[in-house]
Amino acid sequence: MTTLALLPERLKQLFSRFDAAGAHEHSLELALDHWQVKRGDRLWPTVTDLEPAQLGPHAPHLFIFERSDDDWRLRFAGDAARTDLGAPTEDATLSSLADHHAAVRLRRLFEWVEQTGELVSASFVSPHQDGEFLVAPLGEGGGNVEAVFGGFVSRRPQGAD
């Protein structure tokens, strides 16, 4: 279900599709299924429920960011996600991503997930890159989102840097 009319303007400007029902990219849909299985009958799964070794063949596009004061610290990123986001190999945070456009989009999605406690899939189209993000909350059930699990599938136009 696309709900752009109900979204804050800052999200409408960044995304062409915003959906709480599911992802369109196959690898992100598999990641969402994994998140739902790990959640079980709880509000959200925990960070430890989603160990990278358990993520299987869809791991290359996935990431886990943990809340760290006023930023988000990258706990795990698959090879494709790390490359597409431009994540440093050590001490990566949302603010340190080389792809500043992706960082802004992720920050807005993380804020949305923190405020609503709901997962979201969002697609965007831009001159330098098209793609889809999946962002889902993680926490111990105390009502606070402590981390986010998600993925990124990039579709760079031919000839884009």
Task: Delimit the domains of the chain by residue range.
Answer: 28-46+58-155
Token code pair at residue 39: 């959640």
**How far is it, in rounded angstroms, from Cα 90 to Cα 106?**
19
CB of 141 closer than 8 Å to CB of 43: yes
**How far is it, in rounded angstroms, from Cα 116 to Cα 91?**
28
pLDDT tens profile 125-138: 877 778 888 999 99
pLDDT tens profile 41-69: 999 999 999 988 888 887 999 999 999 98
What pLDDT sits at residue 125? 80
Task: Find the mean pLDDT for residues 80-85.
Answer: 94
CB of 144 closer than 8 Å to CB of 117: no
Domain 28-46+58-155 classified CATH 1.10.3720.10? Answer: no
